[in-house]
Amino acid sequence: MAVTAPISDDRVSRRRNVAPAATSEGTHLLAGALERYVWKVAEALGVPREGASFEVTDTATAYIALGCRAVAHPDRDVMLVWSATQGWAVSIETDPAEPLIVLGRLSGDIVQAPEAVAGLVAESMTRPGVRQPSVAGPPPMGWSDLAECMERYAP
C-alpha cells in the first residue's frame, strides 16, 4: 500500500484519462476510502490483503494480484487494476516493453460493487479470447466525490 503526501494542486482537468483535480482534504478522504474499497473487492475475490495495493498521488490507482490463470493465456499471471479515470480492468501481467493485454473491463461507473468486479474477473478468466474494450465512461470526478462513491460499498 503506497499513499503519498497530500497533493495541493487545484488544477481541474476536463480531458478524458486525466486525473481529476485533487485537494489535500480530498486526497486524504480518497486514500482512506480507496483502501477500504480495494480490500472489499479483494475480499469478494478471495484475495488476501497482502495481494492488494493502492496509491493516491496525482492520480489514484489500485492493483490486485489474482492467483489464477486465464483460459486465453494459461502461462501468464493475471491482475485486476483500477484507475480513477478508467475504472476496473482485468489484464495479463506483462513486461514493461509489452503492450497491455486487457481481458475485460467494466463499463459505466468508475466505482462499482465488489460483486460486479468479481463477476468481471470470473467472466474474463473463462473467455477464450482477448477483448480490447473501449475505455469510454463517465467523466472524471473529484477525489471527494470518488471517496463518497466508494463509501457506498466500503463504509
pLDDT digits (tens, 9 = 90+) for 30-61: 999 999 999 999 999 999 999 999 999 888 99
Query: Would you state the pLDDT for residue 135?
Result: 56
DSSP 15-67: STTSPPP--HHHHHHHHHHHHHHHHHHHHHHT--GGGEEEEESSSEEEEEEES
Mean pLDDT rounded to a whole number for the chain: 79
Predicted confidence at residue 30, as pLDDT, reads 93
3-state helix, strand, coil in the chain (%, to 5): 30, 20, 50
**pLDDT beyond 50 at 12:** no
Count of helix runs (H) and strand runs (E) in the chain? 3, 6
Supply the DSSP symbol for 111: S
Is 153's pLDDT higher than 90?
Answer: yes
pLDDT at 102 over 80: yes
